[in-house]
Amino acid sequence: MMTKNPKTNFLTGKKFPFCPGCGHGISINALNKALQELNYGPNDVIVVSDIGCSGLIDPLFATHTIHGLHGRSPALGLGVAMGVAQKQNKKVIAFIGDGGATIGLQHILEAARRNVDMTLIVLNNLLYGMTGGQISGLSTQKFKEIIDFEKDVPPFDLIQLAHASGARLAVRVNAPNKIKDTLKKAIETEGFSIVEAASLCPSYGMKRMNELMEVVEHENILEHKRPATKIIDRETNSLLEQANIIEPKYDAGLKERKGILIAGSAGGGAQSVARFLAMAGMYAGLETTMKGEYPITVGTGFSVAEVIFDHQPINYTGLDKPDYFVIVTEDGLNKIKSKLHKDAKIYIDDKLVTDELKSEFPDLMAVPFGKMANRKSTALAAVTYVLNKEKILPVETLKEAVSTHRLKDIFVDVINKVVES
């Protein structure tokens, strides 16, 4: 139940981290008073913050707090609001600056469209305050005329946009003495409410409130009569119930934790082979982890994967110092070259070996991986070669791992040819 204590302070008492004269503190103090007058308790409120000056609020609130990515606090707040929808008297309040609102505009419109019960407070100081005062999508025409920038490009009218998207309540408030009551109305509104509050930026924008009042958009309040979206819980089967349970069938060859790094190119199967390798470790009764890395282009460039085996639980993924390197393409080599070290066993396609590389790592093993299989199966052939050579795992575990794949016959044939060669 809601903790009814109008004297409860929702602030921790820590000093505000803002520049002297910053207007953000006005809205924060107004929210504290609004929550007190509405008889909420700190455990009833979840505050979601963004990046930028508005993202400095987390330590200030004695409530549940979540710190998000730039422009994403409305999306995080929406997710939390949907999660606590069945809890009585819980309120999600998200903060965002005008810069974050520009970056995350779609998240705001989506939250308004869904109309789940939450309040978004937009601290609009007309600029990006943390990065030097650049204009934002909410910088008004009058403000841009003063700084002589983009006079012919109009700002977004966030209140109109939120209203058109379905927000139950959309308000722009400029006068500091109106913010508390506006926030009370927004918090009491069932559904999505948004409050855009004018805020001073004394470092890069307006230093006095009367200056700010000359350049902000006019106050506005828009309401819909649509009811708040009701979130209904439903029972579903756990995804874990669909998981393929891997039972150990073989004994592992290794005695201590080992890590393998596979370095190839996009489309060469490095990620799939790493998954097979991790599964093979499970078939050998080992704890395993797998981490993949590749560029956003996906279809070109490097593809690197790292697998760890141990008899004990592994509480992380990724390798700072791999024990084995399996390098099959130039893309992969270029990506992981800085990780190579002399304590590791380095298996590399013979076409990639240079005099410089051989001089630095005289014990590396040059193997004609490219001749063992076609391009899409070279990584599998290389991993099979290393497993068979080092006796890390029985090769049969790798066959078990590929047995569930639609190309299992091709993969098993590649494994057999490598072992028999």
pLDDT digits (tens, 9 = 90+) for 131-147: 888 989 999 998 988 88
**Co-location of 168 and 304 in the same domain:** no
Decide the pairing of beta strands 302-310 and 287-293: antiparallel
Name the pairing type of β-strands 118-124 and 127-128.
unpaired
18 domain-assigned = no
pLDDT tens per residue across span 218-235: 999 999 999 999 888 788
Q: Going by C-beta distance under 8 Å and a sequence separation of 6 or more, which residues neighbour residue 89?
A: 1, 2, 40, 44
Q: Could you tell me if 375 and 330 are in contact, meaning their C-beta atoms sit under 8 angstroms apart?
A: no
Domain count, the chain: 2
C-alpha to C-alpha distance for 419 and 421, rounded to whole angstroms: 6
Do 265 and 407 belong together in one domain?
yes
User: Who wins on pLDDT, 299 or 177?
Assistant: 177
Query: Does residue 234 belong to any structural domain of this protein?
Result: no
Domain limits for position 274: 246-420
What pLDDT score does 215 carry? 87
pTM value?
0.65
Is 239 among the domain residues? no
Would the pLDDT of 5 be above 60? no
Same domain assignment for residues 359 and 311: yes
Confidence grade of residue 236 (pLDDT, cut at 50, 70, 90): confident
The pLDDT assigned to 244 comes to 79
Asked, for residue 112, whether it belongs to a domain, the answer is yes
Lowest-confidence pick of 72-76, 132-136, 150-154? 150-154
150 pLDDT more than 50? yes
Q: Are 346 and 326 contacting, i.e. CB atoms less than 8 angstroms apart?
A: no
Q: What is the pLDDT of residue 206?
A: 86
Q: Is residue 361 part of a domain?
A: yes
Residue 7 lies in a domain: no
42-62 per-position pLDDT tens digit: 999 999 999 999 889 999 999
250 and 351 both lie in a single domain: yes
In this predicted structure, the answer to whether residue 415 has a pLDDT above a threshold of 50 is yes
Instruction: Identify the band that residue 2 occupies on the pLDDT scale cut at 50, 70 and 90.
Output: very low
Decide if 264 contacts 303 (C-beta within 8 A). yes
Same domain, 208 and 263: no
On whether both 118 and 188 belong to a single domain, the answer is yes
pLDDT > 60? residue 6: no
Whichever domain contains 392, its CATH number is 3.40.920.10
- 171 shares a domain with 35: yes
Q: Which two tokens stand for residue 127?
A: 């600029």
> Residue 45 is inside which H or E element, if any?
strand 45-49
Lowest mean pLDDT among 24-33, 77-86, 143-152, 331-340: 143-152
| DSSP character string of 244-295 | ------S--S-SS-EEEEEEEETTSSHHHHHHHHHHHHHHTT-EEEEEEE--
Mean pLDDT over each residue of the chain, to the nearest integer: 92
Identity of the amino acid at 188: E
Q: Please give the average per-residue pLDDT across 393-417, as a whole number.
A: 94
For the chain, percent of residues with pLDDT exceeding 90:
76
Residue 1 is predicted with a pLDDT of 42
Tell me whether residue 316 is in a domain: yes
Confidence of residue 298 (pLDDT cuts 50, 70, 90): low
Structural domain ending residue among the three candidates 223, 256, 274: 223
In the chain the first and final C-alpha atoms are separated, in Å, by 71
- CATH number of residue 218's parent domain: 3.40.50.970
Amino acid 188: pLDDT: 96
- pLDDT at 7 (0 to 100): 63
How is the chain split among helix, strand and coil, in percent rounded to 5?
40, 20, 40
Rg of the Cα trace of the chain?
Answer: 29
If asked whether residues 203 and 297 sit together in one domain, one would say no
Same domain? For 355 and 289 the reply is yes
| Neighbour tally for 245: CB within 10 Å | 6
Does 80 share its domain with 37? yes
Do residues 165 and 225 lie in contact, with contact meaning Cβ atoms separated by under 8 Å?
no
Q: Is residue 278 part of a domain?
A: yes
Q: What mean pLDDT do residues 84-101 have?
A: 91
* The amino acid at 37: E
Give the full edge-to-edge strand order of the sheet including 118-124: 64-67, 45-49, 91-97, 118-124, 192-198, 169-173, 220-223
Strands 365-367, 287-293: pairing is: unpaired
Residue 272 has pLDDT above 50, yes or no: yes
Q: Do the beta carbons of residue 247 and residue 286 sit within 8 Å? A: no
Q: Are residues 56 and 179 in the same domain?
A: yes
Is the domain of 401 the same as that of 279?
yes
pLDDT > 80? residue 195: yes
